[in-house]
Structure 1
Amino acid sequence: MQNLIIEGSRDTYFTPHVKLNAETGICSITGESYLEEPFEFYEKISAWFSDFFAEGNKSLQLDLKLTYFNTSSSRAILEMLRVLKGHGDEGKGVTVNWHYPDPDDEEVLMEGEDFMEESGLEINMIEYEMEEEM
């Protein structure tokens, strides 16, 4: 099974950086998600997760550190999380970490909590310090 790596970009649309490691099961999606076709983008990731577990892998960790995502990306992310919930319900080890900036920006934290409630998936909320712009 191959790793899936998608380089993030900030052109007309914003694409998050995706790194899905087939050897370790440690995966990350970071940056901004403002996509023309978000369901196609996140479906590719969901399919990779399904293939990963079909290969006999037992556990996966997904770190989400999104600083911005639009409404259509939000819906696609929720569908991706529901796919992971399904794998967890089948006995696979699924850990999802939602990284949010310090509490001065509650919006990203609240979005993560909404994803947890709507997907039924247990999500770890992890605070981080925003790096200052140079």
Structure 2
Amino acid sequence: MQKLEISATDLTPDVLLDATTRTFKFEGRSVSDNPEEFFKPIQAWFNEYVKKPNPVTVLVTRFEYVNTATQRELLNILKLLEPVAGAKVVWQFLEDDEDMEECGQELEQLTSVAFEFQVY
């Protein structure tokens, strides 16, 4: 499976999805007015990945900020991962960033994917 790598911009996060190295990472800000377009290839990648997933899938997220529209897109991705055995999200946030911590907690409540919260 081809890896998907998208470089960060002022409005979108850095993305690295590589099944071979078992690297699944989102990092940065996601404040685009049209996150559906940005996340379309990411959702397509996960649609393929879930057909033959790795034994363990750990999605690491280190967001500075995400808007509400992005939260919906993240939930869609997490819903794709729900049937994957061993899927987990490592939700990283700054120690004093209650908004990002709460964002992760809200997503955790809306999906059956396991979450681990880490302060960085």
> Structure 1 length as normaliser, TM-score?
0.81
**CA distance in 2 between partners of 1:82 and 1:52 (Å):** 13
In 2, the alpha carbon distance for the partners of 1:116 and 1:23 equals: 26
* Secondary structure class of the residue paired with 1:80: helix
Alignment of 1:50-61 (within 5 A): 50-55=47-52, 57-61=54-58
1:56–1:69 CA distance, 2 compared to 1 (3 A): closer
- 2:67 aligned with 1:70, yes or no? yes
Deviation at 1:35, TM superposition (A): 1.7
What residue in structure 1 maps to residue 4 of structure 2? 4
State the partner residue of 1:122. 114
Greater Cα radius of gyration, structure 1 or 2? 1
Distance in 2 between the 1:100 and 1:44 partners? 25
Instruction: Kindly provide the CA deviation profile for residues 63-111 of structure 1, in whole angstroms up to 9, marking residues without a partner as x.
Output: 01111111111111111111111x33xxx32121000111x22111111
* Structure 2 unmatched runs, 5+: none
1:105 aligns with 2:97: yes
TM-superposed CA distance for 1:61, in Å, is 1.3
Aligned residue number for residue 131 of structure 1:
none
Runs of 4+ in structure 1 off by over 6 angstroms are none
**Could you say if the C-alpha distance between residues 48 and 68 of structure 1 is closer, same or farther in structure 2, counting changes exceeding 3 Å?**
same
Across the aligned residues of Structure 1 and Structure 2, the Cα RMSD in angstroms comes to 1.6
Matched, 1:28 2:21: no
How far is 1:56 from its partner? 5.3
Unaligned runs of 5+ in 1: 129-134
Please give the alpha-carbon distance, in whole angstroms, between the structure 1 residues aligned to 2:53 and 2:93. 32
- In the alignment, is the contact (CA less than 8 A) between 1:43 and 1:80 conserved in 2? no
